[in-house]
Amino acid sequence: MIELRTPTEIEQMRPAGRFVAEVITALSQAADVGVNLLELDALAHEMIRARGAESCYIDYHPSFGASPFGKVLCTSVNDAVLHGLPHDYVLRDGDLLSVDFAASVDGWVSDSALSVVVGAPRPEDVRLIETTTRALEAGIAAAEAGRKIGDISAAIATVARGDGYTINTQFGGHGVGRTMHGDPHVPNDGRAGRGYPLRPGLVIAIEPWFLHGTDQIYTDRDGWTLRSADGSRGAHMEHTIAITEDGPLVLTSRN
């Protein structure tokens, strides 16, 4: 069921957005050569406790997950692009890391993701991150009242294809509110002018993700981490936004 939020409810969602943005920023700054993925998860866990927030991940067990997730953030490294389960891995020079984090504050959820290069970057990784960032920005710009979900999807796909990347539509954006995942689905490819109307009060996560050489993925033996079929690297960007009469409001803005 798709729910529309009142202006008052959207204001009540702002603290969750600010908190998620703070955690994502702290994680990106903490990610360095020699840092263990479990240390990043512990940092996020401590920030959740200090804020009195609730994790959206730790007990999360959808049909595509092998078991309850058990951690409070996703850490996807190199050929992993989504749902990376934090494990005993020490970051190395040149690693491409994506962190995805969602939390509930006062009963409202926000969700965000960011990709960074640890240490010395490869030019192709920088380009991939830049493309994914521009795709997110294009999707957000298209999220105006009176338009359609397909306008967001088409804007994302135009950026990706323009830079030579293919697109997987198995996983994409989604509704956000009292829970982390809800309707509508926001695919990263679609036809402009089609799909659910964008009405004031709709709150969604927009999350483009692309791989260097393929759009095919498989699930790692851990039952969660999604990896590229050809071993190429991936990048993932995400913001939670609200559709308003005055344009899209980015609740998880890190500015």
Find out whether 111 is annotated in a ligand binding site.
yes
Find out whether 39 is annotated in a ligand binding site.
no
DSSP class of 94: T
Alpha-carbon distance of 230 to 115, in angstroms, equals 20
Find out whether 93 is annotated in a ligand binding site.
no
Strands (E), 41-170: 54-55, 74-77, 80-82, 96-105, 108-117
Return the closest-CA partner of residue 215 out of 225, 206, 228: 228
Find out whether 83 is annotated in a ligand binding site.
yes
Residue 244: strand pairing partners: 247
Number of neighbours of residue 250 by Cβ within 10 angstroms: 19
Find out whether 185 is annotated in a ligand binding site.
no
Alpha-carbon distance of 65 to 59, in angstroms, equals 11
Find out whether 45 is annotated in a ligand binding site.
no
User: DSSP letters of 107-130?
Assistant: TEEEEEEEEEE-SSPPHHHHHHHH
Residue 15: is the preceding peptide bond cis (ω within 30°)? Answer: no
CB–CB of 224/86 below 8 Å?
no
Place of tokens 């791989």: 211
CB–CB of 63/87 below 8 Å?
no
Find out whether 239 is annotated in a ligand binding site.
no
Is 210 strand, coil or helix? strand
Burial tier of 200 (Cβ tally within 10 Å: 0-12, 13-18, 19+): middle
Binding site listing: 83, 100, 111, 174, 181, 207, 238
Binding site listing for substrate: 83, 181
Binding site listing for a divalent metal cation: 100, 111, 174, 207, 238
